[in-house]
Amino acid sequence: GKYQYGDDTFEASGSSSGATYSKCRAVAVRALKVDEPACTHMKCTFGGVWNGGGGDGQKNLFVASFFYDRAAQAGFVNPKAAVAKVKPSDFEEAARRVCKLNVKEAHATYPDVSEEDIPFLCMDLVYQHTLLVDGFGVDPYQDITLVKKVRYGNSFVEAAWPLGSAIEVASSS
């Protein structure tokens, strides 16, 4: 199949028998360069980049967009709620369930996931868990807040995840 990210389209294929959690995890760890030895600071995230020091902001973490959408598709948050409390380990548990399924089984189990997204649901959930836990050092059992919409004045507006754009810009330089 094909995987589209921004303006780029990539050839992608998986096993007809379904994905393997451990292989997806290894790919995510490698892609994030979690073991990058170039870190010259006390605390680094993926790719040897300083993590900003953590602190109180990391203890009260709000995550939006792609994270919320996949959590809703995997069935561990209410897709109609504006916000939801989850733990990074919820992404791992969902990934382990999804990764055991082939595409046909996954589509039957998760009928609200689009035809384009279903082949990548395992990898997306694994990547999200890996990014939070290994990339940013968030405790797997720490509560985080997923945000779909935020209140602005008298209405709710769609939340976006600017970090995704920042990662894309940083990885292309």
- Domain residue extents for the chain: 2-172
> The domain 2-172 is classified under which CATH number: 3.30.420.150, 3.20.20.70, 3.40.50.1100, 3.40.50.150?
3.30.420.150
Write out the H or E segment, with its range, that includes residue 27: helix 21-32
Average pLDDT over residues 134-163: 81
Which residues fall within 8 angstroms of residue 161, CB to CB, at 6 or more apart? Answer: 63, 64, 65, 66, 67
Q: Does residue 15 contact residue 106 with C-beta atoms inside 8 Å?
A: no
Which residues fall within 8 angstroms of residue 6, CB to CB, at 6 or more apart? Answer: 168
pLDDT at 51 over 80: no
The Cα 162–Cα 159 span in angstroms is 9
Predicted confidence at residue 140, as pLDDT, reads 96
pLDDT at 1 over 80: no
Confidence grade of residue 42 (pLDDT, cut at 50, 70, 90): low
Average pLDDT over residues 92-104: 93
Pairing outcome for strands 144-147 and 62-64: parallel
Confidence grade of residue 129 (pLDDT, cut at 50, 70, 90): very high
